[in-house]
């Protein structure tokens, strides 16, 4: 199985890129640990300039930052995700599985077993759950057929200059597009997001969060504990 993986990223200067070297190295190390054979990886920068630290394959989507980011109505993330999928299909036309794993998502579970089962299943996209049965975009396992649909059939305009806004949030648009074709490998996990720094703040740190397969949008304290406990578990394997 040929697996590739990428993270969307926005880095505004070489100095910021240098400061993120540790986080990005950790992201690549997590992917190496998550699979029996380490996937080929790349970063997809949203802007026109490569500010990523040295040692990372990086492509630039060339998106001009004209307005403040908005998760529904002006999503640089979705635009960058779609560019990354386009690049993946052209650079690795024979891939079997594309993993869009955000660099700030900490893995607490290996993905190889999940990927093996996913490739035997009829669904074309897999992800942990978010709200109302929608897939969480911090970790998407994508078959080539799903990548094509995300590029050309997603009912969501990343940068809607004409309409001004979307009906769906990205996660809800993905749920609608892949109705009956989406698999959640972790149905008992309510969400991997702690929603730190947002009005939906979930104050984590309890034992249930430590058992989640991965963690995103975490508080610094919870993230440190999660890394520490799961690094210990990795050492046992």
CATH code of the domain containing 129: 3.90.550.10
* 214 domain-assigned: no
Q: Is 80 exceeded by the pLDDT of residue 234?
A: no
Least-confidence region, from 8-22, 84-98, 134-148, 210-224? 210-224
pTM given for the model: 0.93
* 194 domain-assigned: no
* 212 domain-assigned: no
* 179 domain-assigned: yes
Cα 177 from Cα 172, distance rounded (Å): 9
Q: Is 105 left (phi over 0), alpha (psi -120 to 50) or beta?
A: beta
Phi, psi of 193 (to 5 degrees): -95, 135
* 63 domain-assigned: yes
Number of domains forming the structure of the chain: 1
Q: Is 80 exceeded by the pLDDT of residue 108?
A: yes
* 169 domain-assigned: yes
Q: Is 60 exceeded by the pLDDT of residue 236?
A: no
Domain housing 44: 3-188
Q: Is 60 exceeded by the pLDDT of residue 122?
A: yes
Instruction: Assess contact for 149 and 178: CB atoms under 8 A.
Output: yes
* 230 domain-assigned: no
Phi, psi of 171 (to 5 degrees): -65, -40
Per DSSP, the three-state class of 198 is: coil
More confident site: 190 or 232: 190
Query: 199 falls in which pLDDT band (50, 70, 90)?
Result: low
Exposure letters 17-51 (e unless 16+ CB within 10 A, then b) = beebeeebeebbebbebbbeeebbbbbbbbbeeeb
Cα 121 from Cα 215, distance rounded (Å): 25
* 198 domain-assigned: no
Q: What proportion of the chain, given as a percentage, has pLDDT over 90?
A: 80
203: CB partners within 8 A, 6+ apart: 194, 219
Cα 62 from Cα 166, distance rounded (Å): 22
């Amino acid at each position: 199985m040929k697996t590739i993986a990428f993270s969307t990223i926005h880095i505004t200067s070489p100095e910021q890129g240098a400061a993120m070297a540790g986080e990005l190295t950790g992201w690549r190390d997590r992917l190496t640990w998550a699979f029996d054979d380490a996937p080929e990886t790349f970063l997809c920068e949203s802007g026109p300039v490569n500010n990523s630290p040295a040692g990372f394959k990086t492509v630039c989507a060339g998106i001009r930052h004209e307005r403040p980011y908005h998760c529904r109505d002006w999503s640089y993330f979705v635009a960058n995700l779609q560019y990354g999928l386009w690049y993946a299909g052209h650079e690795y036309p024979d891939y079997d599985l594309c993993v869009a794993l955000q660099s700030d998502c900490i893995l607490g579970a290996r993905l190889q077993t999940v990927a093996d089962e996913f490739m035997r299943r009829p669904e074309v996209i897999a992800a942990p759950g978010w709200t109302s049965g929608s897939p969480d975009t911090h970790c998407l396992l994508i078959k080539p057929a799903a990548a094509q649909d995300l590029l050309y059939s997603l009912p969501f305009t990343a940068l809607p200059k004409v309409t001004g806004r979307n009906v769906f949030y990205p996660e809800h648009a993905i749920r609608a597009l892949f109705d009956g074709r989406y698999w959640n490998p972790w149905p008992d996990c309510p969400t991997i997001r702690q929603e730190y720094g947002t009005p939906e703040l979930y104050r984590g740190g309890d034992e249930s969060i430590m058992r989640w397969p991965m963690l995103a949008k975490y508080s610094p304290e919870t993230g440190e504990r999660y890394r520490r406990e799961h690094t210990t578990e990795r050492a046992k394997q």
